[in-house]
Structure 1
Amino acid sequence: MGDLYNVSSVLVLTGFNLSSENVLPAFLFATLSYMIIVFCNLVLILTIVLNKSLHQPMHLILLSLPINDIIGPTALFPQIIKEILTNSRTMQYSACVAQAFFIHMYGLATVFILTSMAYDRYIAICLPLKYNTIMTSAHLMKIITVVWISTLILIGVLFVMLLRLPRCRSELAHPYCDNPTLLSLVCADTTPNNLYGLILSAFTQVIAIGTILYTYLQILVACFRSKQSDTKAKALQTCATHLIVFLLLECMGLFTIISYRIKNISPHSRRFIGVMAIIFPPLFNPIIYGLKTKEIREKVQYFFRNKIVPF
């Protein structure tokens, strides 16, 4: 049994198996995607941070989204680009665990951030007279702190449970690391891990979908009761932007989960879906918010017209 668990600290990942003519297009696609993601999200971060008129609860909660949208792709892309460029499929176990941790943290934090944004919009539209009283700086900091601390704790527990188990394999059936593939390296009972993962997924989905459904129903009722057409239109536009981002995240997450459950799906399709789930939301989130949120759109346009910040 001692030899069984004496496995290498270097893991072998399943590569993309690219032909020589596809290496350059794949490298360019991955590199450009990562650069666009980082650039767009940095523009959104700088626009909010450097413009005092955007230091409102809605935008300060939104600030967590582009920060998180940089964390997820940064955990993924450098390793993917290295693999494409050097055709190296090896990775240190510690680096693999770190990559998986930040990818899962990115996914859970996105759900919590979008849920807190739905709560903010509910207070702003359904209780406008109490908004400034409720959404104080202290309350806002509590929301942001709860989002990040709860994410760290819940994902931390997931990986503490993983690391306590003995490992007897070193080959991953995936081009990058996540909790399910790391569990496949374990030679012990993973039922508690699977159960915790299932409860965590169900809990976050119930909280997120329940909160968003309730708040949006209340917002729709408030909008239809409002006699001010401009207020109604602005509220619906803000909610539509948030809903598009949430549905994009849910659809990509659902496709990834389904790809793991369907045995007949090709390995290439499963890898592609898994990578796209981390590429599309961070790529489109800043574009959606930049185009759909008037205040942010105007400040971004001002930024590019003047080329140099200050606002």
Structure 2
Amino acid sequence: MDNTTSSTSILLLEGLKVTPQSSVPAFVLLLVIYVFTLLSNISLVVLITLERSLHQPMYLLFCNMTVNDAFGATAIIPPLLSNVFVPSSERYIRYTSCAIQAFCAHVHASTCHTVLMIMAFDRYVAICRPLQYGAIMTNRMVVKLSASAWTVSLLLVVVLVGLSVRLSRCRGVVFNPFCDNASLFKLSCDSVLINNIYGLGYTVVLLGSSLGSMTLTYLKIAIVCLSGRSKAVNSRALQTCATHLSLYIIMFVSGAIIIILHRFPSLSAHRKLASIMFHVVPPAMNAIIYGLQIKAVRQRIFIIFTRNIVTVGK
């Protein structure tokens, strides 16, 4: 067992499958998306931090999403970029690095759900209990919600990946663009029944709780808005909720596609592409969708845009 484990401490990673002709366009596209994701998300955090008018629970909670998006993109995209021009037979990765990447990938995916859940709670309190909003959504509550979102994700993923790391290894090839939990336990010839049971429970609990809480929250919000008297206030509330809900739908659909494609081995190539898109597209789109909804962000973009036009005109 020790010899087998030792011989598979260096793994061969499938990586991103691209032809020599498409390697340069793929590299440039991923690099542009990654740079844009980092710049947009970090810029939003800096703007919310510096702009005192944005020191509100809604925006402070959203900072969790921007940090998580930057974290998830960094865990996946740079390793893909580093292997684009490396022959597929030479894409090696240490088992420890593979386990760390799998841990980071699942923390990112889990935190997407938990962060959107606490953001939905904030919108529920703001719209359904406006008179108590200030008393409920204090700075201390924002910290508690943020900490709980990350803690729950970390605990769930520690057990998930830990169950895979404990297994002995008899294979040395990762048939995936990047390392995830399935990649880890597929390296073993031991029984993975416990892994499958926990993995299924992990998925059901995470997706079920997020979908259930989002559904109930927005049903209550819709009832309050439809029965409210102030059309202007209700319209503004629905606009904010629509932005938040669109982020959730993008994330949920992206994750659901991967889960569904896992059931069809013949569509493994599509699943691999979908898994990359999950860590690439939502992080890039979230900043655009939510950032442009913030008035201060729109004003800052307008100032920069008009300043550039004036400079070019001169």
Same fold (TM over 0.5): yes
Q: Is the 8 A contact 1:6 1:168 kept in 2?
A: no
In the alignment, which residue of structure 2 is the partner of 1:99?
101
CA distance in structure 1 between the partners assigned to 2:307 and 2:121 by the alignment: 35
In the alignment, which residue of structure 2 is the partner of 1:70?
70
CA distance in structure 2 between the partners assigned to 1:306 and 1:144 by the alignment: 37
Q: Is the 8 A contact 2:15 2:91 kept in 1?
A: yes
Q: Is the 8 A contact 1:5 1:166 kept in 2?
A: yes
User: Taking structure 1 as reference, are residues 289 and 69 closer, same or farther at Cα in structure 2, changes over 3 Å only?
Assistant: same
Number of matched residues?
Answer: 306
CA distance in structure 2 between the partners assigned to 1:296 and 1:215 by the alignment: 27
CA distance in structure 2 between the partners assigned to 1:225 and 1:164 by the alignment: 55
The one-letter amino acid paired with 2:9 is S
In the alignment, which residue of structure 2 is the partner of 1:157?
159
CA distance in structure 2 between the partners assigned to 1:217 and 1:179 by the alignment: 35
In the alignment, which residue of structure 2 is the partner of 1:271?
272
- For the residue of structure 1 that corresponds to 2:104, the secondary structure is helix
Give 1:64 deviation, angstroms: 0.4
In the alignment, which residue of structure 1 is the partner of 2:285?
284
CA distance in structure 2 between the partners assigned to 1:183 and 1:39 by the alignment: 35
User: Taking structure 1 as reference, are residues 7 and 213 closer, same or farther at Cα in structure 2, changes over 3 Å only?
Assistant: same
- For the residue of structure 1 that corresponds to 2:7, the secondary structure is coil
Q: Is the 8 A contact 1:14 1:174 kept in 2?
A: yes
Residues 95-244 of structure 1: matches in 2 within 5 Å? 95-244=97-246
The one-letter amino acid paired with 1:41 is N
CA distance in structure 2 between the partners assigned to 1:167 and 1:100 by the alignment: 16
Counterpart pick for 1:251 among 232, 250, 253: 253
Give 1:304 deviation, angstroms: 6.6
TM-score by length of 2: 0.93
- For the residue of structure 2 that corresponds to 1:11, the secondary structure is strand
- With 290-299 and 71-80 compared, the bigger mean Cα shift is at 290-299
Please tell me the root mean square deviation across aligned C-alpha atoms, in Å: 1.7
- With 179-188 and 87-96 compared, the bigger mean Cα shift is at 87-96
- For the residue of structure 1 that corresponds to 2:262, the secondary structure is helix
Give 1:4 deviation, angstroms: 4.0
Give 1:37 deviation, angstroms: 0.8
- For the residue of structure 2 that corresponds to 1:168, the secondary structure is coil
The one-letter amino acid paired with 1:110 is C
The one-letter amino acid paired with 2:96 is S
1:298 aligns with 2:299: yes
* 1:88-141 deviations in Å (ceiling 9; x for gaps): 411111111111111100000010000000000000000000000111111111
Give 1:85 deviation, angstroms: 2.5
The one-letter amino acid paired with 1:271 is K
CA distance in structure 1 between the partners assigned to 2:303 and 2:114 by the alignment: 31
- With 80-89 and 39-48 compared, the bigger mean Cα shift is at 80-89
CA distance in structure 2 between the partners assigned to 1:136 and 1:2 by the alignment: 53
In the alignment, which residue of structure 2 is the partner of 1:41?
41
Identity, % of aligned positions:
34
Give 1:230 deviation, angstroms: 1.0
The one-letter amino acid paired with 1:118 is A
CA distance in structure 2 between the partners assigned to 1:183 and 1:306 by the alignment: 54
Q: Is the 8 A contact 1:99 1:177 kept in 2?
A: yes
In the alignment, which residue of structure 2 is the partner of 1:85?
85
Q: Is the 8 A contact 2:15 2:80 kept in 1?
A: no
Unaligned residue ranges in structure 1 (runs of 5+): none
Give 1:2 deviation, angstroms: 4.9
Q: Is the 8 A contact 2:165 2:185 kept in 1?
A: no
In the alignment, which residue of structure 1 is the partner of 2:311?
none
CA distance in structure 1 between the partners assigned to 2:5 and 2:46 by the alignment: 48
- For the residue of structure 2 that corresponds to 1:185, the secondary structure is coil
CA distance in structure 2 between the partners assigned to 1:95 and 1:273 by the alignment: 22
Unaligned residue ranges in structure 2 (runs of 5+): 309-314
- For the residue of structure 1 that corresponds to 2:265, the secondary structure is coil
- For the residue of structure 1 that corresponds to 2:266, the secondary structure is coil
- With 146-155 and 233-242 compared, the bigger mean Cα shift is at 146-155
TM-score by length of 1: 0.93
Q: Is the 8 A contact 2:170 2:189 kept in 1?
A: yes
Give 1:270 deviation, angstroms: 2.4
* 1:62-101 deviations in Å (ceiling 9; x for gaps): 1100000001110111110011033341111111111111
- With 134-143 and 11-20 compared, the bigger mean Cα shift is at 11-20
In the alignment, which residue of structure 1 is the partner of 2:312?
none
